[in-house]
Amino acid sequence: MPEGDAVYRTAAKLRGALDGQVLTRSDFRVPRHATADLTGRTVLTTVSRGKHLLTRVEGDLTVHTHLRMDGSWQVMAAGRRTAPGDQVRLILANERWQAVGVRLGMVDLVRTGEEERLVGHLGPDLLGPDWDPDEAVRRLRGAPDRTIGEALLDQRNLAGIGTIYRAETLFLRGIWPWKKVGEIEDLNGLVSLAQRLLDANKGHAGTVTTGDRRPANQTWVYGRAGKPCRRCGTRISRGEMGAQPQERLILWCAGCQLG
């Protein structure tokens, strides 16, 4: 599932292809907006907010998309055929490029002035210009009995963390994922570390939290269930957190994450 750093890169890719260009075609393949047509309008820009993408178009319109589990935006030469079998949800094209949204989990078209209705509930964006660790901590503290593992994934607390950064951040801080938020002393250190990890990875594909970019060495616990911990040798545990049906994968080291 794409996390904040991947969404950030996607926004940059869309800016490169669409910003300042007049749309020569738009194709919404979702029932709700099947008749929408943005042809002739100039794309102003695309910004990311946590895992949400906002593509602003001339005339007070914003195309709101979310990659959810396995969606993506692909940029290719205008007129090129998309791969057969791709579940295309939206195409935005200009004379030179087309941006093709595949398996997008959300496609919406709203007034730009109403964007807050879509993303106003989000906590501070770890990769946004307005990142505010104190505000993220304040929001986390609002539910002290919640497990830190669940609280970190709740985008209303802070926006951009998914299962990879959750697992890696908690490992690096030595925190058991089921520890209650109210029992964690240095929440600021925790969210600041998460921010640094996302920031360090926003410029390239993949997630490297160990500082070692070789494929087998990139993470401490994520993707390493059953393998020995790089620090203490204990086999990495794998489980699920959260209430059904929203439980999500968690990996941790029972030797290192005692705190």
Catalytic residues: 2-3, 51, 248
CB atoms within 10 A of CB 14: 25
Could you give phi then psi for residue 15, rounded to 5 degrees? Answer: -60, -45
Could you give phi then psi for residue 175, rounded to 5 degrees? Answer: -105, 130
Choice between 83 and 232, CB closer to Zn ion = 232
Least distance from C-beta 163 to Zn ion, angstroms? 19
Query: Binding of Zn ion at residue 170 (CB under 5 A)?
Result: no
Least distance from C-beta 186 to Zn ion, angstroms? 20
Looking at the DSSP bridge assignments, the partners of residue 147 are 180
* Among 173, 182, 187, CA closest to 259: 173
Stretch that binds Zn ion, among 101-109, 153-161, 179-187, 227-235 (CB under 5 A): 227-235
Choice between 203 and 239, CB closer to Zn ion = 239
Least distance from C-beta 176 to Zn ion, angstroms? 12
Choice between 20 and 174, CB closer to Zn ion = 174
Query: Binding of Zn ion at residue 253 (CB under 5 A)?
Result: yes
Choice between 147 and 234, CB closer to Zn ion = 234
Site for Zn ion, residues 7 to 26, rule: CB under 5 A: none
Query: Binding of Zn ion at residue 190 (CB under 5 A)?
Result: no
Least distance from C-beta 149 to Zn ion, angstroms? 17
**233 is written with which tokens?**
């040798």
Query: Binding of Zn ion at residue 255 (CB under 5 A)?
Result: yes
Residue in the block written with tokens 């999500």: 248
Amino acid at 128: G
Do the strands 248-252 and 106-111 form a parallel or antiparallel pair, or are they unpaired?
A: unpaired
Stretch that binds Zn ion, among 37-45, 59-67, 142-150, 222-230 (CB under 5 A): 222-230
Least distance from C-beta 218 to Zn ion, angstroms? 17
Spatial separation of the C-alpha atoms in residues 7 and 99, rounded to whole Å: 15
Q: For the chain, where are the E strands, in sequence order?
A: 25-28, 43-49, 52-57, 61-66, 72-77, 88-93, 97-102, 106-111, 237-241, 248-252
Count of alpha carbons within 13 Å of 142, Cβ hemisphere only?
14
Query: Binding of Zn ion at residue 232 (CB under 5 A)?
Result: yes
Q: Which residue is nearest to Zn ion (CB)?
A: 229
* Among 176, 200, 175, 179, CA closest to 190: 175
Query: Binding of Zn ion at residue 83 (CB under 5 A)?
Result: no
Spatial separation of the C-alpha atoms in residues 12 and 205, rounded to whole Å: 13
Query: Binding of Zn ion at residue 140 (CB under 5 A)?
Result: no
Query: Binding of Zn ion at residue 231 (CB under 5 A)?
Result: yes
Residues that bind Zn ion (rule: CB under 5 A) add up to a total of 7
Least distance from C-beta 234 to Zn ion, angstroms? 5
Note the residues at the interface with Zn ion (CB under 5 A).
Answer: 229, 231-232, 234, 253, 255-256
